[in-house]
Structure 1
Amino acid sequence: MTKPGAQTWDEVYACHFEVDVEGWRISICNDCDELDYCEQAVSPDGQKWDFDPGTRTDPIALLSTWEHQSLERMLKAL
């Protein structure tokens, strides 16, 4: 997992934070320094998925508590 932008998780604080995971560009919402939801994912071949928290199951919501905390720690370490 890498971040294409220059800002860190702490600098974004309450906005979308983009990461690259094996060619997938994933936009994750940082809500006041807490991992909230996945906004969008774009595959390496350009297919795009938008996740509206009210209409689709967000992949972040499917994580266990341990997975959620682990991902949050990884994002803060980038």
Structure 2
Amino acid sequence: MTRESLSSREVCQILRDLALGTRSIQRISRQASPGIDAGQIRVEVDGWVLNLCQDQGTLTRCESCIAADGRSATFADWHRYGTDPVELLSTWERAQVEGLLADPQSVEARAI
């Protein structure tokens, strides 16, 4: 049995929509590395759950994603095909998403 996984382009489109302000975002959790501004942030974007990695406030990659319909993929899936969803973003889109993740008012925390 094969599982249907998400393409990097599907996940990138969610991030693009977020950058354009057409989707809402909520922070689920944040795991920071002690002493440095790096770590993972888990967010929900209109039913999609994304685990994003940051280093000094810069979005570095999408570690994993679960779509609203239950399909999922991880960095290993995208690495195999050579493309991480974050790498598909334009410079402006990436900056917009980084700004949303940095602004506590734009990313409302919630408990899972």
TM-score of the alignment, normalized to the shorter chain, above 0.5? yes
Whole-angstrom CA distance in 1 between matches of 2:47 and 2:79: 27
Aligned to 1:18: 42
Unmatched 5+ residue regions in structure 1? none
TM-score for the superposition, normalised by structure 2: 0.58
4+ long deviations beyond 3 Å = none
Unmatched 5+ residue regions in structure 2? 1-24, 108-112
Aligned to 1:64: 90
For the residue of structure 2 that corresponds to 1:67, the secondary structure is: helix
How many pairs does the alignment contain? 74
Q: Work out which structure has the larger RCO, using CA pairs closer than 8 Å and 6 or more positions apart in sequence.
A: 2
For the residue of structure 2 that corresponds to 1:66, the secondary structure is: helix
**Which structure has greater helix proportion?**
2
1:1-78 aligned within 5 A: 1-5=25-29, 7=30, 12=32, 13-52=37-76, 54-56=79-81, 57-77=83-103, 78=107
For the residue of structure 2 that corresponds to 1:45, the secondary structure is: coil
Bigger CA radius of gyration: 2
Whole-angstrom CA distance in 2 between matches of 1:21 and 1:47: 15
Percentage of matched positions with identical amino acids: 32
